Chain A
Amino acid sequence: MLVMGFVSTMVFLILYGILFPSSDLPVISSVLPVFDGVFDSGIWFFILGAMIGVFAILGTMLTEATSE
């Protein structure tokens, strides 16, 4: 499913580029400028990794507590 999703996304982006050259992507092109100057340091990559770890702990607690 993940591979299919990735391939279809790539196909969609390529098609969009061919059909509407030099046009910005809808929605995404409006959202991305919001993050300009926000994640402009390498520390955010590390914080992202730590956040994945924290969510892994929360997920583990939830799944372990609710599984039979």
Chain B
Amino acid sequence: MGLITSMVAFWLAMLVVFILVNRGIWVFTDVSKSMSMFMLEKALGPPIDFVDGKHGSAATTWIIQGAIWIVPASIITFCGLWLSHDPEALHSLSSWGLKPTSSSLITSGFLVAVYGSVGMLLIGSSMHIVPELGGTTLATEKNATLMSFVWTLGVIVMFIAANKPEIVGIRIMPVATLLTNLALIAVIVNMLLTAASRTKKMPLPAWMMIIGMISAPVSIVVLAITGSLDSGSGQWLATRMGGTTFFLMMSGAILYGASRGSGNPLWSRSLAAVTMVGAILTINPSGLIEGEIASDFLGISTATFEPSRNDIVAGSFLLALSLIPIIALSANVLATMRGDDVFIENPDSPGMPEINLAAFMAVPVAIGGLFVLTDYLTGTNELTGIHTSLVLMGVWVVFVPASLGSALSIFPEVSGRNVLSVNRSRWAFWLMAGGAFSGLAFTMMADFSDMALLEAAVEEENSTSNRIRILGSVLFYGTVLGSIYHALNIISGSFRGTLSSEGPNLSSTSISSPYKLTKETTVRKILAQREGKLDTVVIPESSTDLPGNATEI
């Protein structure tokens, strides 16, 4: 089957899913609801009683675990970047039977970042966003909380599989796929039950998250049915559709987070619709360029990537079109954060800088991805040398900030407490963003240098590139520090942060007052700097519906 046939089958499948989710499945709707609820709770037996079922516990558990996963993800990626210029740096681990290489560490760091941190943060956010926008509560908090631990186990197995694909002759990655999909299906059923109990029309961000989750298993089933999974093009398409899943979920979370965090209404519903429909209709440039990772996940043999002429034309066209939903998302988020005036309402609010960064960087990173993927698709392979750095940049300056920012902006609502310190959150942002951007930019410079020398057929070792790589990996260490700061801030905040009803603790240090240099200012600007409050609070007096009488004199 060709690429376009697989895509058409995917579009039809998603359309059917969307209709079924909205309309139900005829007379079986009630039966399937009660049976699903039984499978999610009672059928699990004693394990379900190990977890808490109070309101918001599921979202909090997923978000905290997602924030903690950023720490190992950044450490592993840092080690991978370091080993690219010093391959023997960790040779002493060979005494434990471990032989980490740069590529294995970067791949495992990528997987841990995507599935551990981004995946968990987005699923955690969806457990608050979907019920909130549907005017209902999560169908089962207990099952959702329990599944977070299954997912975490899946990510641990995934990390092991990326570094040691086979243990006693058994391929490990399919086990990770099994565990994560087990949790994902439970979460999807939970979300569908939640959506079924909605009391009002559910806005698009919630649909984006649900459809994004469902698109993961649907895409694999479609590719399996059309017989594409055995071909290189099909495996490449499966990897791209994985990117669609995360992009849709991220879009829903970031749109909700931008609106909720800034206090502004969503700028454009039409652009949100363009993002959702466009993401499904096009091929997303996020993720690794090769289809090998998809075959590893599914435990099938890797096929050679030999796209036909039609595949190249259709693939390039759909890849180029993917910029439309990405630009629509970026514009919508930035305009929502800005609101009606010239500045963001509460720029210091935890999560807002991260969302701003992700929305700002999404377009240039996507354009870079588009060039590299088109280059790979056409078989030119002149730009594949920068593909690893570009993928890491996409993860660390778009997906991780977007998911973390959304999670931070809803954290007070789900946990009932604010993060411990706004100031620490700001420091963590600068460390993470600065470390990831500068570190990966330097690494990309080294990639370009290597590519130039390779093209010129220079056989000597490129010492300049090695020096730049050292700088890149050391700068990336800022991301490690930032992730530790974020994790500490969230964990401490969930225990002793100020109550969400009281407002956040601005600072744990003495920095709190804005640094003013302007001669004259306006009341509007002063208010925006939290120096005062203009809102007139109207407290309603007790009133009655009884008809009035003339006042007796």
**Distance in angstroms between the alpha carbons of A40 and B92 in the assembled complex:** 9
Residues of A near B328 (CB, < 8 A) are none
Residues from chain A with a CB closer than 8 A to the CB of B303 are none
Residue of A nearest to B83 (CB): A43
Give Cα distance in the complex from A62 to B92, angstroms: 32
Query: Quick check: A43 and B82 within 8 Å, CB to CB?
Result: yes
Interface string of B476-490 (1 = CB under 8 A from A): 010011001001100
Answer whether A50 and B89 are a contact pair too, CB < 8 Å, given A57-B68, A64-B495, A64-B496: no
Does A56 make an interface contact (CB < 8 A)? Answer: yes
Number of A-B contacts (CB under 8 A): 54
B79 touches A43 (CB 8 A): yes
Which chain A residue has the least Cβ–Cβ distance from B484? A53
Tell me whether A38 is interfacial, beta carbon within 8 Å: yes
Majority DSSP secondary structure for residues of A touching B: helix
Bitwise interface map of A from 52 to 68 toward B, beta carbon under 8 Å scored 1, else 0: 01101100110011010
**Taking the complex as formed, is B90 at the interface, i.e. its CB lies under 8 A from any CB of chain A?**
yes
Q: How many chain A residues touch B (Cβ–Cβ < 8 Å)? A: 20
Interface residues of A in 23-68 (CB under 8 A from B): 37-43, 46-47, 49-50, 53-54, 56-57, 60-61, 64-65, 67
- Cβ–Cβ contact B488 & A54, under 8 A: no
Q: A57-B487, A60-B491 are in contact. Are A38 and B477 (CB under 8 A)?
A: no
A65 in contact with B495 (CB, 8 Å): yes
Name the residue in B90, B92, B477 with the highest tally of chain A Cβ atoms < 10 Å from its Cβ.
B92
Smallest CB-CB separation from B487: which chain A residue? A57
Chain B residues within an 8 Å CB radius of A60 = 488, 491-492
Using Cβ atoms and an 8 Å threshold, which residues of chain A touch B481? Answer: 49, 53
Given known contacts A60-B488, A64-B491, A65-B495, A43 and B480 CB-to-CB distance under 8 angstroms: no
Could you list 9 A-B pairs, sorted by A, with CB under 8 Å? Answer: A40-B92, A42-B89, A43-B79, A43-B89, A47-B75, A53-B484, A56-B484, A57-B484, A64-B495
| Chain A contact residues, CB within 8 Å of chain B | 37-43, 46-47, 49-50, 53-54, 56-57, 60-61, 64-65, 67
